[in-house]
Amino acid sequence: MTPVPSEPADETHRIAELEEQIDQLKEAVVSHAVVDQAIGMVVALGRVSPDEGWAILREVSQHTNIKLRRVAELIIIWGRMGEMPPEIRVELSDALERHGPTQIPGSAAE
C-alpha cells in the first residue's frame, strides 16, 4: 500500500506552522541573551551570584509589574546610556540591598 500524497494545502499549512515555530525560537534565543546580559550587569553591580542576579531581575519584574525581558532591556539601556525609569531604579536598589553584601569585600569593618 503506497502512502497517499499530501495535499498542497496541507503542506502549505505545515510550512506556515514551522515558520512560526522558527520565529518563536529565534525570539526566545534573543530574549534569553538579553536576560543573561542583564543578569551579568546585576552580578557585577551587586556582587551577587548569577542565581541571585536572576532572582533580583525576577523580583524587580514582579514588584513593578513589568515583564522580565523588558526589565532586562531597561537595565542594559541603563548600562549603555545611564538612563533608567525611576520605578526600576528604586526596585533594583531595594532588591540589591536585600541580596547583596552588606559590606564591600576587603574593606575594613567599622
Please report the DSSP string for 15-41 in residue order.
HHHHHHHHHHHHHHHHHHHHHHHHHHH
* pTM beyond 0.85, yes or no: no
Q: How many CA atoms lie within 13 A of 106 on its CB side?
A: 1
**CA–CA separation, 40 vs 56, rounded Å?**
12
Place of cell 525570539: 27
**CA–CA separation, 24 vs 78, rounded Å?**
27
pLDDT for res 110: 45
* Domain edges within the chain: 30-99
pLDDT tens-digit profile of 5-34? Answer: 556 677 888 888 888 888 888 887 777 889
pLDDT tens-digit profile of 53-90? Answer: 999 999 999 999 999 999 999 999 999 999 999 999 99
pLDDT class for 38, splitting at 50, 70, 90? very high
Residue 32 identity? H
CB 42 within 8 A of CB 96: yes
